Amino acid sequence: MKWLTGGYAWYLAAILLGGCSDSVDIGQSKESQKPTAEKSLRALIHKAEAGDAQAQYELGSRYLDGEGVTKDANKAMNLLRKSAEQRFPIAQAMLGLVLCAKSITADEYRSALALIEKAAIQNDTFAQEVLGFLYSDLEVGAWDAVCVPKLKDQVKSVYWIGKAADQGSDDAQFELGKAYAQGAGVAKDMLKAVDWFSKAAEQGNADAQNYLGWAYASGQGVSKDLVKAVEWYRKAAEQGNPHAQERLGRAYHEGTGVPKDASKAVEWWRKAADQNDASAQTALGWSYDHGTGVPKDAATAVAWWRKAANQGDSYAQTNLSINYWFGTGCPQDKVRAYMWANLAAAQGNSDAIKNRDWFDNRMTSDQIAEAQRLTREWKPGQSDVATGFSAKLGGEIAKIGTATAFVVSDQGHLLSNHHVVSSCSQVRLAGSDKPLKLLPQDAANDLALLQMPDKPQAVAVFRAANDLRQGESIVIYGYPLEGTLAAGGNLSPGVVSALAGLGNNTSQIQITAPVQPGNSGGPVLDGKGQVVGVFVQKLDAVKVAKLTGDVPQNVNFAINEATTRTFLDSNQVPYKTGKWWNLMSKSLEETAAEARKYTVVVECWK
């Protein structure tokens, strides 16, 4: 349910997780709203103290979420309870939900549920939606722990969701549409399903728009109309719905409802893939493998297939097994080839079954036993990145190049580019003979994590809000042309010239800051010295000049902040973000002085 991942989920998470962290600020930038926010908070506190039920609920919610105040579960509960005692419905529902999550005994559980039911009977839409969820048998992320055991009565679930849908809740309308589409709690009826999807879709509900597109594409409950299907997919995709983005990419790939366009297919698949949609990642891998809509690149194909395979996608697992077997785009590894084929075969993938049988006759019993062990131990989400960092056995190794990295956590995590470290036998800090530990890499987005052996002196701070604008001033800090330019680091000012990279790559930004070899992996900083990207590459002027007859000036690219932070989040790196009260811009001198403390030279040895 979409509503389960919205604002109310943050309130519940505050209680379930207990306390808060200063390291990551997920809120929006509040610089311009500071005076107004302070006045609003004072007024809200005054009303709550005077006994206003709505103010007590709103202030309690703020204490749960830490919105403008320090998170305080006890204060939140007291305020919600005072509001609920005045029969304020949403407070009853919220208090009941929080108590339900903390319930241990059956009596506590029933008391919490009774509060939610009181609010639902008073026609509180949120309470009705909550009851609809509690009576369902759905499992939705962090909400799986809410009010366990679930009541599991689909008829009652549909009853309460229907109440909320009748009041115009687009989320409830979408869920009711799904109930009719699946025959869950009601007789299966695609006409009614489409009717409820349409109501929610017209209100802008992206999930409903995606389902409505599917209904038109498949002719379920409506006459089949591929053009209308694409229209609804596009509406949802433009709101960021990854499933709609994947389906819109498929429509462009197949030319169904729109003219066939491989580049646009890749564009939409990339958007969905960046949101971890496994089907889109598999499709994007196929595009790179075949050179359709993008330049042919076996290594990038493997990187995308690995992401999807780690989520359990059998098609990606099958493709990955073939690449491992022949060493295409990755080091040859017959054991891992067998493992991926084995995992896909267990899902009934016929190609994987054939491949595994073929592998079986060309491997030793020890290799097969090891592959079987890896298969048993594999879990969805488990990393399968071949590091390329095993040191050579015997022989001398030499330094073959340098690049930039920067510290992103108090624990000594370093961030750089995948292409910087992927071909090295060892990566070292400049002047050290100790190799750095290689942590997970993201070849598709060209990011890599390393671990420093010692505690860092300083740590970079990321911009809290992902709101970078075209034309905004930025600087790059790094160590280009080691031995030629200044050893103390270089600061290169510029602007954000585009919010997408080469080939309209939405995981990158285009910048004008002049760079040189060695800048790769360096931080891109805004006017407050906060990280908004990671420098990745410059446009090859010689190649462009040969193609166009003109030499490009300062056309460079960086991995954007959203992609970078997603990578750090997925690897549980406790990075820091700026605070909303950080209003002051910094001079270039100040930015350089700070960046010099957390930016380092890394050496590639091979």
What is the arithmetic mean of pLDDT over 163-185? 89
Instruction: Note whether residue 247 is domain-resident.
Output: no
Q: What angle do CA 276, 142, 62 make, to 5 degrees?
A: 110
* pLDDT (tens digit per residue) in 92-131: 877 877 777 676 676 777 787 788 888 888 888 888 877 7
pLDDT higher at 21 or 18: 18
CA–CA separation, 478 and 406 (whole Å): 9
The phi, psi pair for 403, rounded to 5°, reads -155, -170
Give the model's confidence band at 453: pLDDT under 50 very low, under 70 low, under 90 confident, else very high: confident
Instruction: Note whether residue 32 is domain-resident.
Output: no
Please tell me the predicted confidence (pLDDT) of residue 98.
76
What is the Rg, in whole angstroms, of the alpha carbon atoms belonging to the chain? 27
Q: Specify whether the CB–CB gap between 103 and 147 falls below 8 A.
A: yes
Domain end: 310, 343, 377, which one?
A: 377
Instruction: Note whether residue 358 is domain-resident.
Output: yes
Q: Which of 490, 489, 504 is nearest to 560 (CA)?
A: 504
CATH number of the domain enclosing 93: 1.25.40.10
Residues 363, 437: one domain? no
Question: What share of the chain has pLDDT > 90, as a percent?
Answer: 40
Determine the residue type at 87: R
Instruction: Note whether residue 403 is domain-resident.
Output: yes
Q: Specify whether the CB–CB gap between 168 and 180 falls below 8 A.
A: no
Residues 426, 542: one domain? yes
Q: Supply the angle between the helices 89-102 and 125-134 in degrees, to the nearest 10.
A: 30
Token output for 333? 């590894």
Please tell me the predicted confidence (pLDDT) of residue 466.
79
Please tell me the predicted confidence (pLDDT) of residue 219.
96
Instruction: Note whether residue 319 is domain-resident.
Output: yes
Please tell me the predicted confidence (pLDDT) of residue 485.
41
Number of helical (H) and strand (E) elements in the chain, helices listed first:
24, 14
Instruction: Note whether residue 101 is domain-resident.
Output: yes
Residues 348, 371: one domain? yes
Cβ-proximal residues to 289 (8 Å cutoff; 6+ apart), any chain? 296, 298, 301, 319
Residues 458, 552: one domain? yes
CA–CA separation, 56 and 54 (whole Å): 5
Token output for 6? 């919205």
* pLDDT (tens digit per residue) in 544-581: 333 334 434 456 889 999 999 989 988 889 999 887 55
Instruction: Note whether residue 257 is domain-resident.
Output: no
Please tell me the predicted confidence (pLDDT) of residue 140.
40
Total domains in the fold of the chain: 4
Residues 405, 456: one domain? yes
Q: Specify whether the CB–CB gap between 3 and 206 falls below 8 A.
A: no
Domain end: 239, 256, 290, which one?
A: 239
Give the model's confidence band at 137: pLDDT under 50 very low, under 70 low, under 90 confident, else very high: low
Instruction: Note whether residue 522 is domain-resident.
Output: yes
Residues 329, 411: one domain? no
276: left (phi over 0), alpha (psi -120 to 50) or beta: left
CA–CA separation, 471 and 510 (whole Å): 10
Average pLDDT, the chain: 81
What is the arithmetic mean of pLDDT over 128-148? 59
Please tell me the predicted confidence (pLDDT) of residue 176.
92
Residues 288, 229: one domain? no
* pLDDT (tens digit per residue) in 454-484: 889 899 999 888 788 898 999 999 887 554 3
In this predicted structure, the answer to whether residue 385 has a pLDDT above a threshold of 60 is no
Range picked from 305-309, 423-427, 442-446 for highest mean pLDDT = 305-309
In this predicted structure, the answer to whether residue 489 has a pLDDT above a threshold of 70 is yes
Contacts of 152-156 with C-beta under 8 Å, sequence gap 24+, read 154/179, 154/184, 154/185, 155/185, 155/186, 156/131, 156/185
Residues 178, 158: one domain? no
Domain end: 166, 186, 216, which one?
A: 166
Residues 565, 533: one domain? yes
Alpha helices in 327-434 (DSSP H): 334-345, 350-360, 365-377, 418-421
How many C-beta neighbours within 10 Å does residue 144 have? 10
CA 515, 521, 524, 529 dihedral sign is: negative
Residues 547, 446: one domain? yes
Residues 157, 179: one domain? no
* pLDDT (tens digit per residue) in 344-380: 999 999 999 999 999 989 999 999 999 999 899 888 7
Residues 541, 606: one domain? yes
Question: What is the span of the domain harbouring residue 290?
Answer: 264-377
What is the arithmetic mean of pLDDT over 433-439? 85
Please tell me the predicted confidence (pLDDT) of residue 303.
86
Q: Residue 576 CA to chain centroid, in angstroms?
A: 17
